[in-house]
Structure 1
Amino acid sequence: MGLFGKLFKGPEVDMEKSDANRKRMRSLFNQLVEHGEDYNILFGYTEDVGRFNYGLVHGSKTKIGNLIVGWNETSQTIVVVPTVPDLSEGGEPVIYRRSEILKAYQNKYPTDAFIIYPDRKGYIGINVCDWLEDEKLYVYVSQEAEVKAFTDFFLNHFKTK
């Protein structure tokens, strides 16, 4: 691989830190969700982009929301628990049952988000990824297998036609 291969390889996942956060995610999810142990889980995030226009100054500000996303194939249910990057607390779980949603699909632009419309008034966009390095904004966890499993579940059981 040589010196240049090591220099340009990029950051590597700290698996010890990742595994510790995976255990904290599981513990928090099980604490907040009834029968939480029956769900597969992964880290996800949502973005809220606020646009502003002050005459000559145009722009946007993005707010990141960290999520623990659980899914159960048998009940065809997704549960979303808001959390913070250090997993010290979690919010009220939101349950999305396949039989009760209006529409769901995987968005391809501008991000590869999973979009769920529970009704005509609101929606959630769930972004998932293998790993994000920025611990100040995101939960530090490596989850390649979980991302694939969630994507397969969503596309096979949750996506509306």
Structure 2
Amino acid sequence: MGLFGLFGGSKTVELDKVKSDENKNRIREIFDNKVDNGSEYKIVYAYSEDIGGANFAVLRTVSYKYRSFILGYRENDLSLVFLEVSPDLNQVGEALVYRPQDVKKTNFTKLVGSYYLQYGSSFKKEYFNFFVPETIDEIVNHDWYDEDTFTYIDQREEHNGWVDFWNKFCR
């Protein structure tokens, strides 16, 4: 990003629409095959950033792990499904389903574009931060971007539907 990136100097990326559309079609196919009644859900691409660290006597380390998800949402019962996928869309994990009654707390931090979901019991609180990028610029402008870390996808049309759903889910 550099010093000037801090002041809104991010570059505009020319969209490879064919590549983005191929990935959109692929995530739809994966989701429909892996999730019961998958075609009833609208979907978007999401990713999470897990930050880990360790302190040694004179050394401190910080590590970042990124995970990619197909995020499905259904308005009629406010279901939210996270399906972990590899960035190249060749490997798929298990689907995790959340409904408002399963969630303790939700939030959206506009400054960083981060969504927050807390679930679990009062004794064992579990939480999850994730990002739903709207444009390819929001992914590619990360200094650490590479195609082994993130899926190449532009979601301008899908993003507004996601935001509307999230606002209903959070009530």
TM (norm. structure 2) is: 0.81
**Equivalent residue, structure 2, for 1:46:** 48
* Superposition CA RMSD, Å: 1.7
Q: Specify whether residues 78 and 59 from structure 1 end up closer, same or farther in structure 2 by C-alpha distance, changes over 3 A only.
A: same
Q: Residues of 2 paired with 1:154 and 1:82: CA distance?
A: 19
Letter in 1 for 2:103: I
1:126 and 2:130 matched: yes
Identity %: 29
Query: What SS is found at the alignment partner of 2:158?
Result: helix
**Long gaps (5+) in structure 1:** 1-7
Q: Residues of 2 paired with 1:154 and 1:10: CA distance?
A: 27
1:35 and 2:56 matched: no
Higher strand share: 2
Q: Which residues in structure 2 correspond to 1:1-161 (within 5 Å)?
A: 10-108=12-110, 111-120=112-121, 121-129=125-133, 130-131=135-136, 132-133=139-140, 134-155=146-167, 157-160=168-171
Asked if 2 retains the 8 angstrom alpha-carbon contact of 1:28 and 1:89, the reply is no
Asked if 2 retains the 8 angstrom alpha-carbon contact of 1:66 and 1:139, the reply is yes
Compute the displacement of 1:108 (Å): 4.0
Q: Residues of 1 paired with 2:159 and 2:147: CA distance?
A: 19
**Equivalent residue, structure 2, for 1:5:** none
Compute the displacement of 1:56 (Å): 2.5
Compute the displacement of 1:17 (Å): 0.5
Letter in 1 for 2:169: F
Q: Residues of 2 paired with 1:54 and 1:95: CA distance?
A: 38
Asked if 2 retains the 8 angstrom alpha-carbon contact of 1:106 and 1:159, the reply is no
- CA deviations on 1:125-160 (whole Å, 9 max, x unpaired) are 1211122233221011110222222112101x1114
